[in-house]
Amino acid sequence: MATVPLFSQFPCKSLVPSSSNSKCQSKSPILLPMNSINRRSDVGIAVHRPDFKVRATDVDDEWGPDSAERGSNLSVAEKVADEAIESVEETERLKRLLADSLYGTDRGLSASSETRAEISELITQLESKNPNPAPNEALFLLNGKWILAYTSFVSLFPLLSRRISPLVKVDEISQTIDSESFTVQNSVRFAGPLATTSFSTNAKFEVRSPKRVQIKFEQGIIGTPQLTDSIEIPEFVEVLGQKIDLNPIRGLLTSVQDTASSVAKTISSQPPLKFSLPGDKAQSWLLTTYLDKDLRISRGDGGSIFVLIKEGSSLLNP
């Protein structure tokens, strides 16, 4: 056979069966020439060739079976982010529309029925988008001075309509909140031809629910008049449709003005007048239905609406 010369090249030792404790050792290691490796099949040596399987795959799946899922999650995250941005933009648009609708309404006093309906609809839409549905859990946002921009509270309308005096107007109505001391100060500032003054109430508030606070007024304060920086006497005034020239009596008016200024300075040096408020009737509650860094919407007794804008906000600028 062709295989005999091949095996005759190697020294061999016959192995004799023996008991289990006998040992068999070869005198020299078996060496295979390199040219014999390729001829293993000739000597009956079986060569195992592993089977390889090829699976077709898409290019998008090159990172493994989880890549499609990761891509899907990324798409969902991007969609959520886009929706959040659109929601914020829509909220800002509604806030600007509301601020524009409030312009010229004198805090609601002179608003027409159509304007009130429009304001009410915008308020409802903003309340549905409230970024702080539990405002009393974010009390730090309440801190600061808030300017009343609109109200449906009819008890304020006599004050706004200048029934106190035709020469005195309500210059500002504000609410200042300190969430650390749980105090509230409501203030009305009046402006006249010679001076300005204010009336304020100090109160404490308690959190009763994520949206509701109970307010108890404790003290009223009548501020001392503050002299107007500059007073200009007009050339004429109009009374009952007729213009009256003030030039002939300008000297007299100047003398009266100087006297009034002297009196105002004396009064301004006095401390404000403070008085206690009765505890039984000086209580109220408020629901905060919308709150962010520059807009607050509240509802009070009888469903009254209060729209307040944070001092310094661009919403105060028409």
Cα 294 to Cα 142: distance, rounded to the nearest angstrom: 10
Cα 220 to Cα 278: distance, rounded to the nearest angstrom: 10
Confidence of residue 79 (pLDDT cuts 50, 70, 90): confident
Confidence of residue 3 (pLDDT cuts 50, 70, 90): very low
Task: Report pLDDT for 210.
Answer: 95
Q: Is the pLDDT of residue 139 over 60?
A: yes
**pLDDT, tens digit, for every residue of 280-298?**
667 889 999 999 999 999 9
| CA-to-CA separations, 203 to 135, 178, 206, 279, in angstroms, rounded | 19, 11, 10, 11
Q: Is the pLDDT of residue 8 over 50?
A: no
Instruction: Tell me, yes or no, whether 92 lies in a domain.
Output: yes
| CA-to-CA separations, 241 to 237, 238, 250, in angstroms, rounded | 10, 6, 21
Highest mean pLDDT among 58-72, 147-161, 184-198, 203-217: 203-217
Range of the domain at 193: 81-228+269-316
Q: Is the pLDDT of residue 78 over 70?
A: yes
Task: Report pLDDT for 43.
Answer: 42
Query: What b/e sequence results for 129-168 when a residue is b if at least 16 CB atoms lie within 10 Å of its CB, and e otherwise?
Result: ebebeebbebbebbebebbbbbbbbeebbebbeeeeeeeb
Helices (H), the chain: 4-7, 67-102, 113-128, 157-160, 250-268
Confidence of residue 228 (pLDDT cuts 50, 70, 90): low
Cα 311 to Cα 189: distance, rounded to the nearest angstrom: 15
Residue type at 146 in one-letter notation: W
Mean residue pLDDT of the chain comes to: 76
Task: Report pLDDT for 296.
Answer: 97
Q: Is the pLDDT of residue 264 over 80?
A: no
Section 76-103 average pLDDT? 88
Cα 168 to Cα 196: distance, rounded to the nearest angstrom: 9
Confidence of residue 249 (pLDDT cuts 50, 70, 90): low
Confidence of residue 231 (pLDDT cuts 50, 70, 90): low
Instruction: Tell me, yes or no, whether 59 lies in a domain.
Output: no
Confidence of residue 226 (pLDDT cuts 50, 70, 90): confident
Judged by DSSP in three states, 23 sits in coil
Number of domains in the chain: 1
Task: Report pLDDT for 76.
Answer: 76
Q: Is the pLDDT of residue 93 over 50?
A: yes
Instruction: Tell me, yes or no, whether 152 lies in a domain.
Output: yes
Which 8-state DSSP code applies to residue 246?
Answer: -
Highest mean pLDDT among 58-67, 80-89, 215-224, 241-250: 215-224
Which are the contacts of 170, defined by CB distance < 8 A and separation ≥ 6? 159, 160, 162, 188, 189, 190, 191
CATH number at residue 86: 2.40.128.280
